[in-house]
Chain A
Amino acid sequence: MADERSSKLLITFVVFLVLFNYPLLSIVDQKTLILGFPSLYFYMFLVWALMIFVIARIVRQRKKKP
Chain B
Amino acid sequence: MGLSVIIGCSLAYISLLFLIAWWVDRRSAERRPSIVNSPYVYALSLAVYCTAWTFFGSVGRATTGGLSFLGVYLGPTLLAPLWFFLLRKIILISKNQRITSIADFISARYGKSTNIGVMVTLIAVLGIVPYISIQLKAVTFGINTLTHFGEVAPSTKPHFWLEAGFWVTIAMALFTVIFGTRKLDPNERHEGLVAAIAFESIIKLVAFVTVGAFVTFGLYGGFSDLFSKALQQPETAKMFTFEESGVNAFSWNMLMFLSLFAIILLPRQFHISVVENTSPRHISKAMWVFPLYLLLINIFVFPVALAGKMAFGAEINPDTYVLSLPLSQGANWLALFAFIGGFSAATSMVVVEATALSIMFSNHIVVPLLIKTRLLGQGKDLVDGASRLLDIRRVCILLMLVLAYLYQRSVGSTYDLVSVGLISFTAAAQLAPALIGGLYWKRGTHQGAIAALSIGFVVWAFCLPLPSMAQAGIISRSFVDNGLFGLPFLKPYALFGLSGLDPITHAAFWSLLLNTWFYVIVSVNTRSSMLNLTQADLFVNINKYIGGQDSDILKREAKISDLRVMLNRFLGEQRTIALFREYETSNQVLLENQKVAQADLVNFAETHLAGAIGAASARLVLDSVVKEEVITMEEVMRILEQTREAVEHGRLMEAKNTELKTLTLQLTTANEQLKNLDRLKADFITTVTHELRTPVTSIKSLSKIILDYADELSEPQKREYLQILVTESDRISRLINQVLDIEKLQSDEAPLSLEPLDLGDLIQKAVTGMSQMFAEREIQVRLQGLDQTLTVQADRDRMVQVVVNLLSNALKFCRSENGQIEVVLKQQGNWAVFSVRDNGLGIPASMQQMIFEKFTQLHSQATGKPQGTGLGLFITKSIVEKHSGSIRVESESGHGAMFEVRLPLHATEK
What residues of chain A have their CB less than 8 Å away from a CB belonging to chain B? Answer: 5-6, 9-10, 12-13, 16-17, 20-23, 25, 29-31, 33, 35-38, 40-41, 44-45, 48-49, 51-53, 55-56, 58-59, 62
Contacts and interface: CB of A to CB of B under 8 A. Distances in A.
B700 interface: no
Contact of B241 (A17, A22, A30): A30
Given A25-B242, A36-B224, A48-B77, A55 B291 contact: yes
Nearest to B85: A6
A33 B227 contact: yes
28 contacts: A5-B84, A6-B84, A9-B82, A9-B84, A10-B81, A13-B78, A13-B79, A21-B252, A21-B253, A25-B242, A25-B249, A25-B252, A29-B241, A29-B242, A36-B227, A38-B67, A38-B302, A44-B67, A48-B74, A48-B77, A48-B291, A52-B288, A52-B295, A59-B284, A59-B285, A59-B287, A59-B288, A62-B284
B489 interface: no
B242 A48 contact: no
A52 B288 CA distance: 5
A5 to B, nearest CB: 7
Contacts of A62: 284
Contacts of B228: 33, 36
Nearest to B230: A38
Contacts of A52: 77, 288, 291-292, 295
B580 interface: no
A49 B294 CA distance: 11
Contacts of B85: 6, 9
A41 to B, nearest CB: 6
B237 interface: yes
B573 interface: no
Contacts of A13: 78-79, 81-82
B736 to A, nearest CB: 99
Interface string B64-95: 00110010001001111110110000000000
A56 B288 contact: yes
Contact of B67 (A36, A41, A51): A41
Contacts of B79: 13
A9 B400 CA distance: 39
B243 interface: yes
Contacts of A36: 222-224, 227-228
Given A40-B241, A52-B292, A55-B288, A9 B70 contact: no
Contacts of A53: 288
A55 B256 CA distance: 19
A38 B81 CA distance: 28
Given A21-B249, A29-B242, A45-B295, A9 B81 contact: yes
A66 to B, nearest CB: 12
Contacts of A6: 84-85
A54 to B, nearest CB: 8
Contacts of B256: 20
B231 interface: yes
Contacts of B82: 9-10, 13
Given A12-B81, A40-B240, A40-B241, 7 more contacts: A9-B81, A9-B84, A29-B242, A31-B240, A40-B66, A44-B74, A59-B285
Contacts of A40: 66-67, 240-242
Nearest to B299: A45
Given A33-B224, A36-B227, A37-B223, A22 B78 contact: no
Contacts of B295: 45, 48-49, 52
A5 B80 CA distance: 14
Contacts of A9: 81-82, 84-85
A22 to B, nearest CB: 4
Nearest to A55: B288
Interface in B233-248: 237, 240-244
A17 B79 CA distance: 9
A49 B78 CA distance: 12
Given A38-B227, A41-B302, A20 B284 contact: no
Contacts of B74: 20, 44, 48
A19 B446 CA distance: 38
B720 to A, nearest CB: 117
Nearest to B79: A13
User: What size tier do the contact residues of chain B reach?
Assistant: 35 or more
B231 A16 contact: no
Interface string B410-450: 00000000000000000000000000000000000000000
Contacts of B222: 36
A27 to B, nearest CB: 12
A31 B228 CA distance: 10
Q: What 7 pairs between A and B have smallest CB-CB spacing?
A: A36-B224, A22-B249, A9-B81, A56-B288, A55-B288, A59-B284, A12-B81
B227 A31 contact: no
A49 B224 CA distance: 20
B292 A20 contact: no
A28 B222 CA distance: 22
A38 B241 CA distance: 9
B81 to A, nearest CB: 4
Nearest to A44: B70
Nearest to B73: A48
A37 B249 CA distance: 22
A42 B237 CA distance: 15
Nearest to B248: A22
A51 to B, nearest CB: 6
Contacts of A25: 242, 249, 252
Contacts of A17: 78
A63 to B, nearest CB: 9
B81 A20 contact: no
Contacts of A22: 249, 252-253
Nearest to B224: A36
Contacts of B253: 21-22
A13 to B, nearest CB: 5
A49 B288 CA distance: 10
A9 B787 CA distance: 101
Contacts of B241: 29-31, 40
B181 to A, nearest CB: 36
B550 to A, nearest CB: 27
Contact of B78 (A16, A23, A31): A16
B81 A55 contact: yes
A55 to B, nearest CB: 4
Contacts of B77: 16, 48, 51-52
Nearest to A8: B81
Contacts of B302: 38, 41
Nearest to B239: A38
Contacts of A21: 249, 252-253
Interface string B159-191: 000000000000000000000000000000000
A60 B565 CA distance: 50
A48 B583 CA distance: 49
A52 B293 CA distance: 10
Given A10-B81, A55-B288, A29 B243 contact: yes
A31 B237 contact: yes
Nearest to A36: B224
A14 B84 CA distance: 15
A40 to B, nearest CB: 6
A51 B290 CA distance: 12
Nearest to A49: B295
A31 to B, nearest CB: 5
Nearest to B242: A29
A44 B241 CA distance: 12
A43 to B, nearest CB: 10
